[in-house]
Amino acid sequence: MSRLVARVTEVVALDRLRAAAATGSGAVVLITGEAGIGKTAVVEEFSARATAAGATVLTGRADPGEGAPAFWPWSRLLDHGLPGPASTSPGPVLPGSGPLPAAGGDPGEPPATVRFRAIHATVQLLRAAAASTDGGLILVLEDLHWADPASLALLAALTRDVADTPILVVVTARALEIDLPGAETLALRPWNQAAVTDYLTRHTDGPVHPSWPPVVHRLGGGNPLYTRELARLLTGRLRRPATAVDPPDGLLRLAGRRTATLTPACRDLLGLAAALGPEIDVPLLTRITAASPPARITAASPPARITAASPPARITAADIESLLAEAIEAGVLAEDRLAPARLRFTHELLREARYAELSRTERITAHRRIADTLHGSGADPAETARHRIRCAVDDESRQAARDACEAAALEAGRRLDHHAAATWLGQALDLFPADPELRLNRARAASRDGLLTLAVADCAAVLDLAEAERRPGLATAAALVVRGYGGQVAPALTRLCERALTLSGAEGLSGAEGLSGFEGLSGFEGPSGFDGGQADRAELLAHYAFLLVETGNHARAEDLSRQAMALAERTGDPRAMAAAVHARHEVLDPFADTGEVLDLAGRSCRLAAVSGRADAELWGRLWRLDALLTLGDLPAYDVEITGLAALADRIGWPVARWHLLRARAARLLLSGRIKAARETADEAFALAGTFEEQPARELHSAFLTCLAPFSGEPPPWPSDLPGAIADFGAEPIVTANLARLSIQAGDRVAGTECARRLRAMLPDLPRDGRHTFVALSTGELAAWLGDPDLTAAAYALVLPRADRFLNAMTACYGAIARPLGLMAAALGDREAAARHFTDAISREERCGAAPFAAQSLLGYAVSVHDADPRLARTLAGQALAIARRLALPALVAAAAELTRDELTVREREIATLAAEGLPNRLIADRLHISERTVETHVRNTLAKLGVTNRTQLAARLRPGAGTQY
């Protein structure tokens, strides 16, 4: 611990965590603090102690440069090699280390495809490597405040999976904007005055005048780096009384003074190294210097001054090694003994200080020399682009920078790192903002990365240009970039489609008749190979139809989807067909058109194989899953889940895994495994955080709402239910969900407002996939509120779907016959209510949905409670048995209340004899009680059962009474 000051507690804590990890209790620890606070010093001390204790220590660092590829710190860490069997594996599993899909991938492919697969495989690789160690595996990741999102995602995944492994992950960062549940944080604070005194004493190797520590502490603020630099500045003065000290202009100035004593040749080389980046590839630095040495770097010592008549001497590799050794000796550079070809500045701020000292001409020249050397060398295109951008000062260099950025974007797209691709194309756009093809390509990359706002803005800008220059092909290309998304971006995307259609000749778009002009359009001209043929027009029509469904224009979407299907079938183009199939599905009511939905699902899966669109198979399987839930065919649903799992494993998309988890959560709910269903739904919601612009929160809330009647946990009510209705109640589906929440919350005021809105919506409700849910929710709400007119209207709409189930992966509500029974009972039609409830119970039992069978039994019991208490108790008893077996607390409580007999044992005994016609005296003799007691019990029984005489009592207690309905 002799090298450290005031950090004993932190190192002891790290030692404790290392010892625990060695026994299989792994952990993640985050060391935080400002630049120069001593994070690296703590880690180096701990790493030395861990190595001495037999642990394996691997280190990686993040790169602050924008050209660093995804997973860079992890790649650097894995470059050291893993212990045990993992060391014989073909190499790191991170993107870029092996064969990857073709450039760009599928336009609809989620941006996190490779990331998800890489993270999972890397975690497993690290677990296997750790298991082969004797002293545990220590993973040190430094400067993660510069890390890319992929690296942070891998860290988060390992954090969730490290507790039962011999792995300790030590992370340093100034601050980290990521949640690492269970991670321990060691926040390094500035030194106090005592610690500064300790350091100054060690630095001078003797006593320090007591006047200096408060001065240094005040000037340096307790920052160890500032303190060290001040100590070097004051060397030779610390034993004498303190005198005035010129206050530094920040750490950069101090760092500049630190390098001031180096030879000019060394400083020049460090300037080039500072432009190169935080890590210095010595062979690359040598090539750059040898290709075009700076004026002052020479082999002479001291360096010779170069004049116009004296050209610079070529510097050799040995000369460079000598200059680097000088910088290492001065503590400016540090080496990694495991990677001797790489050096780094001992602190990033030292690099920044040296870089800041370069003049504009020196900076531009350095980056140009670096870029020229990297070009054509097989280096990462992103690294070349980073330097090309920083030396783009004229037309020639700006074009070179654009070419480099496009090459970097192409490579990022090949690796399915669409975020990086969009970033590099954005850099090129900064240089050439009027180029439509650059903007379209940036929009495509942004769309794949889920940056929809940026993508839509780029497409709108391209459409502006297309309209100004009358280029319909360009307009069509822009309108088709962002596809498969609805929600908040749907209106903007709809406008893009309408503008493209208008420019292409389909005038009069305010009405469906305007589409006839679109049917006969000539071919498009356009960029990026967009041929504008019939297939392209079919895709545009299908896309527009999809968006019209999202924006509520169902009737027009129905017509367009048919036109798109007809046009796509004439072309025979599989991609156009896949788009048309998707549009056609969106306009269907899966409860009325289940057969067509299943046919479209099969077609979509088959088209996936010939169109190269994996998303077509994903959609097809999802449609089939929902259709099977609608039919109540759970055995076939289980088979289809297996198919979806195989697809998710094959393509590795997080979105496919998300849908798989949602499908499994619905199946667990139907089988009565409520806790497991909630956990699986939560897992799906957590996974949704790896990709953007999916309605994950809304879908998760919908599932929790349907889970609430069984779990007993309150659904996710809005904090202000009336306010939510006022703000979002214009959409039928939203109002229907809020209506269900009003019922569960017992809020009649909110429910009445929902009923008012739904009453107006019901007559014009589109016959789409939401129709049945909205109508059923309206009917249940109206029955609860006692509104017979609205109940009857909803009942009539839903009655044709009595043989279906209101089940989907999003939410499950069971057989539609059950809410029909509730509505029929509210309308006073006892015979229909009994028929619906009996049908619902039978359907749920046949398909194996036990919790919903219990719910139907309970609903039936409630409906006959007043008319036939005995039947109500029988039904409730059956529901209670199921609810207890499945541990459904909410149903248990409700069923237990209904099975409770209104009469005491003695009251029922007396009432039964009275119903048989025995007078009070004979009842008293038979039961050996007084006649007065019999009279009291009979009077209480009549009051409890709401009857006035023994004839009514006999009718009430007669077996089977009330079962006629």
Give per-residue pLDDT as tens, 830-841.
999 999 999 999
> Which tokens sit at 756?
């008012």
Local confidence band at 403 (pLDDT 50, 70, 90 cut-offs): very high
Given a cut of 80, whether residue 506 has pLDDT beyond it is no
- The rounded Cα 830 to chain-centroid distance in angstroms is 49
Going across the sheet that includes 279-281, the strands are 279-281, 339-345, 333-336
Q: Which long-range contacts (CB under 8 A, 24 or more apart) does 526-531 make?
A: 526/471, 526/472, 526/473, 526/474, 526/476, 526/477, 527/436, 527/437, 527/440, 527/473, 527/474, 527/477, 528/437, 528/440, 528/441, 528/477, 530/473, 530/476, 530/477
More confident residue, 381 or 956: 381
Q: Which of 146-150, 295-299, 438-442, 563-567 has the lowest mean pLDDT?
A: 295-299
Given a cut of 80, whether residue 646 has pLDDT beyond it is yes
Give per-residue pLDDT as tens, 577-586.
998 999 999 8
Given a cut of 70, whether residue 541 has pLDDT beyond it is yes
Q: Which of 57-61, 505-509, 827-831 has the lowest mean pLDDT?
A: 505-509
Q: What is the mean pLDDT of residues 842-857?
A: 95
Give per-residue pLDDT as tens, 708-745.
999 888 877 677 777 778 777 678 888 998 899 888 88
Local confidence band at 688 (pLDDT 50, 70, 90 cut-offs): confident
> Which tokens sit at 391?
């030396």
- CATH fold, domain 7-99+106-187, is Rossmann fold (3.40.50)
Q: What is the mean pLDDT of residues 595-623?
A: 91
* Gap between the Cα atoms of 573 and 646, Å rounded: 27
3-state SS class at 339: strand
More confident residue, 190 or 65: 190
Residue 63 confidence (pLDDT): 84
Domain ranges of the chain: 7-99+106-187, 193-247, 589-652, 654-707, 717-791, 905-957
Give per-residue pLDDT as tens, 652-679.
667 788 899 999 999 999 999 999 999 9
Which of 203-207, 437-441, 582-586 has the highest average model confidence (pLDDT)? Answer: 437-441
3-state SS class at 137: strand
Give per-residue pLDDT as tens, 96-148.
443 333 334 455 555 566 678 788 889 999 999 999 888 899 999 999 998 98
Residue 683 confidence (pLDDT): 92
- Model-level pTM? 0.65
Give per-residue pLDDT as tens, 880-916.
999 999 999 889 888 888 887 666 778 878 888 888 8
Query: Taking a C-beta distance cutoff of 8 angstroms, is the pair 631, 808 a contact?
Result: no
Determine the Cα angle at 838 with ends 837 and 841, to 5°.
Answer: 85
* Gap between the Cα atoms of 848 and 843, Å rounded: 8
Given a cut of 60, whether residue 532 has pLDDT beyond it is no
Given a cut of 60, whether residue 694 has pLDDT beyond it is no
Instruction: Please name the residues in contact with 68: beta carbons below 8 A apart, sequence gap of 6 or more.
Output: 62, 146, 148, 382
Local confidence band at 330 (pLDDT 50, 70, 90 cut-offs): confident
* Gap between the Cα atoms of 823 and 826, Å rounded: 5
DSSP conformation class of 713: P
* Gap between the Cα atoms of 391 and 368, Å rounded: 6
Furthest C-alpha separation in the chain: 140
> Which tokens sit at 601?
């699902």
Q: Which of 528-537, 547-556, 586-595, 716-725 has the lowest mean pLDDT?
A: 528-537
* Gap between the Cα atoms of 480 and 487, Å rounded: 17
Residue 378 confidence (pLDDT): 85
Tell me phi and psi for residue 62, to 5 degrees: -80, 155
* Gap between the Cα atoms of 638 and 139, Å rounded: 41
Indicate the CATH number for domain 905-957. Answer: 1.10.10.10
CB 917: neighbour CB atoms within 10 A?
10
Local confidence band at 818 (pLDDT 50, 70, 90 cut-offs): very high
Residue 599 confidence (pLDDT): 95
As a whole-number percent, the residues of the chain with pLDDT over 90 amount to 45
Residue 294 confidence (pLDDT): 52
Given a cut of 60, whether residue 792 has pLDDT beyond it is yes
Average pLDDT, the chain: 84
Tell me phi and psi for residue 812, to 5 degrees: -125, 130
Local confidence band at 91 (pLDDT 50, 70, 90 cut-offs): very low
Residue 512 confidence (pLDDT): 31
Residue 511 confidence (pLDDT): 32
Query: Taking a C-beta distance cutoff of 8 angstroms, is the pair 455, 481 a contact?
Result: yes
Query: Taking a C-beta distance cutoff of 8 angstroms, is the pair 455, 443 a contact?
Result: yes
Give per-residue pLDDT as tens, 252-305.
776 677 788 899 999 999 999 999 987 899 999 999 888 665 545 444 434 333
Residue 298 confidence (pLDDT): 45
Q: What is the mean pLDDT of residues 367-385?
A: 91
Q: For 160-194, what is the HEC assignment?
A: HCCCCCCEEEEEEECCCCCCCCCCEEEECCCCCHH
Q: What is the mean pLDDT of residues 690-700?
A: 65
Local confidence band at 956 (pLDDT 50, 70, 90 cut-offs): low
Local confidence band at 26 (pLDDT 50, 70, 90 cut-offs): very high
Classify the phi-psi angles of 649: left when phi > 0, otherwise alpha if psi is within -120 to 50, otherwise beta.
alpha
Residue 852 confidence (pLDDT): 96
The residue with tokens 């929710």 is: 777
Given a cut of 90, whether residue 867 has pLDDT beyond it is no
Query: Taking a C-beta distance cutoff of 8 angstroms, is the pair 510, 556 a contact?
Result: no
Given a cut of 90, whether residue 776 has pLDDT beyond it is yes
- Cα 268 to Cα 264, 342, 396, 561, 781: the distances in Å are 6, 18, 27, 67, 78
Given a cut of 60, whether residue 762 has pLDDT beyond it is yes
DSSP conformation class of 86: G
